[in-house]
A and B are shown apart, each in its own frame.
Chain A
Amino acid sequence: MVDAGDAETEAATTDDAETEADGERTDGGERSQTHTIRLELVDKPGELLSALHPIAENGGNLLSIFHERGNLTPRGHIPVEVDVECPPERFETIVDALRAEGVNVIQAGAERYGEELTLLLVGDIVDTDLSDTLQRIESSTDAALADLSLSAPEGRGGASSARLRLATRTGRSDEVFEHVRQVADEKDLNVVEPLVEVAE
Chain B
Amino acid sequence: MSLRLAVIGAGAVGRSVVELAPEYGHTVTALADSRSAAVDPDGLDAATVFDRKDAEGAVGAADPEDALAAEYDVLVEATPTTLGDAEPGFSHVQAALEHDRHAVLANKGPVAERYADLMALEAESAGTVQFEAAVGGAIPILSTIGDFGPEQITAARGVLNGTANFVLSRMAAEGLGYEHVLAEAQDLGVAEADPAFDVEGTDAALKFVILANVLGDEDQIYSLADADVEGIRSIPASALDLAAEDGRTIRLIGEATADGVRVGPRLVPQHDALAVTGTRNIVQFETVNAGQLHLSGRGAGGPETATAILSDVGRLE
Q: Contacts A118-B267, A119-B267, A194-B267 given; indicate if A160 touches B157 (C-beta within 8 A).
A: no
Determine if B266 and A199 form an interchain contact, defined as CB atoms under 8 angstroms apart: no
Q: Smallest distance from the beta carbon of A63 to chain B beta carbons, Å? A: 27
- Chain B's closest residue to A151 (CB) is B238
B265 touches A195 (CB 8 A): no
A contact patch SS: strand
Given contacts A195-B266, A200-B154, A200-B258, contact A122 B286 (CB under 8 A): no
**B19 proximal to A (CB < 8 A):** no
Against B, the Cβ 8 Å flags (1 = close, 0 = not) of A172-200 are: 00000000000000000010111101011
From B236, B272, B286, contact of A159 by CB (8 A): B236
Q: Which residue of A lies closest to B155 (CB)?
A: A200
CB distance A195 to B246 under 8 Å?
no
Q: A192-B250, A194-B268, A195-B157 are in contact. Are A149 and B234 (CB under 8 A)?
A: no
Tell me if B225 counts as interface (CB < 8 A to partner A): no
**B196-254: which residues lie under 8 A (CB-CB) from chain A?**
230, 234-239, 241-243, 245-246, 248, 250, 253
Tell me the bound Cα distance from A78 to B284 in angstroms: 55
Residue of A at shortest CB range from B237? A153
- Cβ-based interface call for A54 (8 A): no
For residue A194, which residues in chain B have a CB less than 8 angstroms away from its CB? 248, 266-268
Contact among A161, A193, A197, A199 with B236 in the assembled complex (CB-CB below 8 Å) = A161
Chain A interfacial residues counted at CB < 8 A: 22
Which of A152, A161, A193 has the largest number of chain B CB atoms within 10 A? A161
| A192/B267 in contact, CB under 8 A | yes
**A120 and B286 contact, Cβ closer than 8 Å, known pairs A161-B236, A161-B242:** no
Residues of A within 8 A of B292 (CB): 197
For residue A94, give the distance in angstroms from its CB to the closest CB of chain B: 37
Kindly state whether residue A123 has any CB partner on chain B within 8 Å.
yes
Partner of B234, one of A122, A162, A193, A199: A122
Minimum C-beta distance from B147 to chain A (A):
20
A163 sits at the interface (CB 8 A): yes
Which B residues are in CB contact (< 8 Å) with A123? 234
Assess whether A152 is in contact with B238, with CB atoms less than 8 Å apart: yes
With contact pairs A159-B236, A192-B250, A195-B157 given, residues A149 and B258 touching in the complex (Cβ less than 8 Å): no
Contact between A151 and B267 (Cβ–Cβ < 8 Å)? no
Q: Closest Cβ of chain A: how far from B42's Cβ, in Å?
A: 53
Closest CB-CB distance, A174 to chain B, in whole Å? 10
> Is the CB–CB distance between A151 and B157 below 8 Å?
no
Kindly identify which residue among A118, A122, A162 contacts B248, using a CB–CB cutoff of 8 Å.
Answer: A118
Does B155 contact A120, Cβ atoms closer than 8 Å?
no
**How far does the Cβ of A108 sit from chain B's closest Cβ, in whole Å?**
33
Q: B254 CB to closest chain A CB, in angstroms? A: 10
**Contact A195 to B267, CB < 8 A, known contacts A120-B243, A149-B242:** yes
Is A162 within 8 A of B267, CB to CB?
Answer: no
A residues near B237, Cβ cutoff 8 Å: 153
CA A170 to CA B37, docked complex, whole Å: 62
Q: Indicate if B277 sits at the interface (CB-CB under 8 A).
A: no
Interface contact A193-B267, CB-CB below 8 Å? yes
Instruction: Tell me how far the C-beta of A106 lies from the nearest C-beta in chain B, rounded to whole angstroms.
Output: 35
Whole-angstrom distance from the CB of A98 to the nearest CB of chain B? Answer: 39
CB-nearest residue of chain B to A153: B238
- Write the nearest CB–CB distance from B88 to chain A, whole angstroms: 36
- Is B257 in contact with chain A by the CB < 8 A criterion? yes
Of A149, A153, A160, A200, the residue contacting B245 (CB under 8 A) is A149
A-to-B contact residues, CB < 8 Å? 118-120, 122-123, 149, 151-153, 159-163, 190, 192-195, 197, 199-200
Interchain residue pairs with CB less than 8 A apart (12): A149-B242, A152-B238, A153-B238, A159-B238, A162-B242, A163-B243, A190-B234, A192-B239, A192-B265, A194-B266, A194-B268, A195-B255
State the 8 A-B residue pairs at the shortest beta-carbon distance, nearest first: A151-B238, A161-B239, A163-B242, A159-B236, A161-B238, A194-B267, A195-B266, A200-B258
